[in-house]
Structure 1
Amino acid sequence: MHILLLVPAAAAAAFLAAAPASAQGVRAEIHGGWDRVSGGGHDDGIVYGVGLGYDHAIGRKLTLGIEANADESSVKECQSAGTVRACAKAGRDLSVAARLGHKVSETGTLYALAGYTNARVTGSLIAGIVPTATRFSDTLDGVRVGVGYEQAISGKLYAKAEYRYSNYEGGTERHQLLTGIGVRF
């Protein structure tokens, strides 16, 4: 009896492995790239993180989905004046966004996203002839929009390229160019 259950399961697994990746379902990815944070001045660095999402097909060409991302950044900016030195560092960035995709080929999807983002900024102020350090941490709420392209590689694997723009409270902005690789379940 168990052998009768294994035959259809093996056939389904072989079909899924050979079929082009679908632009729908649960997905998980790692991504990284260029990060620019500005608010008074600007500095460039590297952003890297993970994402989890779900896309649902609407007809033959459209997908509608939701995604959540957790990212870290290497962006750090310091300024000095006399005996005062101030440094700020971009920390973790959490976001959730809706995503609308359009299949431009059997294995490629062009998409746009919009949602909420929350970034942490940490810093220090060192002042005085005998240096005294003051540390601070703050979180900034904002909106995120972006566009990207996702290409199936083989089976359930995909690669992506994406541009993100985030606008946070207090006049802080962020531009990011990312590439990533992921898997659909």
Structure 2
Amino acid sequence: MRKFVLTAAASALALGIAAPAFAQDAPADVTFTGPRVGVILGYDKLQPGSGPNSDIDSDRKADGLVYGGDIGYDVALGSLVVGAEGEITGSTSKVTNNPLDAAALGYGRVKSGRDLYAGVRVGFLAAPSTLIYAKGGYTNGRLDLVASDGTTTTGQHFNLDGYRLGAGVEQSIGSNTYAKVEYRYSNYGNARFEYANGANTNNFDVDTDRHQIAVGVGYRF
């Protein structure tokens, strides 16, 4: 996991260093102020955490494709840019088991469901059209489950609450359009199990890590 994080950080740093070189041809009226909307696509990895309360091998993971959209509002204060953003994504990450295997606890499939995020970001202008930023906020994820006792198949899900931290580079590619790349780390520390009939358990402690490298394009109004 440490190697994965270092690789992602190095990639973001390299892009941040290189971005000013191709930012020189940007339009003169580029601004990082106002509402924006965009789409997101990237790599997603979900795995048990490695905290002191976790006795699950952190190599047991589900990885796949993250996809979705985001909205935000930014304000440029000189070379400093601050803003708020929200995001909804889905993922193809999943683990498939034999539900009759005792080790699977009756679960035939565990799949990443929708993920909600709300937070803030703060950045600085490395060039007139290049923003390097950090972000953080609240995230709520879902794990969709398919369970079977060999005769009846049912579906339930876990709701996971946690926080997200990340960093990225946003590059203006026109007066109103932009592209970005970012690394995001999420940790879910609370969960509740929700049954098919709508009932749910009380919250309980978990330790689940999520790593994502995502690219996005968007339009600023």
* TM-score, normalised with respect to structure 2: 0.71
Tell me by how many angstroms 1:155 deviates.
Answer: 1.5
Residue 61 of structure 1 corresponds to 79
Residue 8 of structure 1 corresponds to none
* In structure 1, C-alpha distance between the alignment counterparts of 2:143 and 2:95, rounded to whole Å: 11
Residue 192 of structure 2 corresponds to none
Structure-to-structure mapping, 1:1-185, within 5 angstroms: 19-39=28-48, 40=56, 41-58=60-77, 60-80=78-98, 82=101, 84-128=106-150, 131-169=151-189, 170-185=206-221
Q: Which runs of 5+ in 1 are unaligned?
A: 1-17
RMSD: 1.8
Tell me by how many angstroms 1:25 deviates.
Answer: 1.2
Q: Which has the higher strand share?
A: 1
Deviations 1:48-96 (A, max 9, x none): 11110011122x2101110000101111112236475531111110100
3-state SS of paired residue (1:23) = coil
Identity %, equivalent residues: 38
Tell me by how many angstroms 1:150 deviates.
Answer: 0.2
User: How many aligned positions are there?
Assistant: 166
- On the 8 A contact 2:107/2:145 being kept in 1, the answer is no
* In structure 1, C-alpha distance between the alignment counterparts of 2:174 and 2:81, rounded to whole Å: 20
- On the 8 A contact 1:87/1:123 being kept in 2, the answer is yes
Q: Hey, which bits of structure 1, 4+ residues long, moved more than 3 A?
A: 81-85
- On the 8 A contact 1:21/1:158 being kept in 2, the answer is no
- On the 8 A contact 2:116/2:139 being kept in 1, the answer is yes
- On the 8 A contact 2:187/2:210 being kept in 1, the answer is yes
Q: Which runs of 5+ in 2 are unaligned?
A: 1-26, 49-55, 190-205
Deviations 1:133-173 (A, max 9, x none): 23211211110000000000011100000111000021111
* In structure 1, C-alpha distance between the alignment counterparts of 2:96 and 2:182, rounded to whole Å: 29
- On the 8 A contact 1:20/1:107 being kept in 2, the answer is no
* In structure 1, C-alpha distance between the alignment counterparts of 2:136 and 2:72, rounded to whole Å: 14
- On the 8 A contact 1:20/1:152 being kept in 2, the answer is no
Which sits farther off after the overlay, 22-31 or 103-112? 22-31
3-state SS of paired residue (2:97) = strand
- On the 8 A contact 2:145/2:155 being kept in 1, the answer is yes
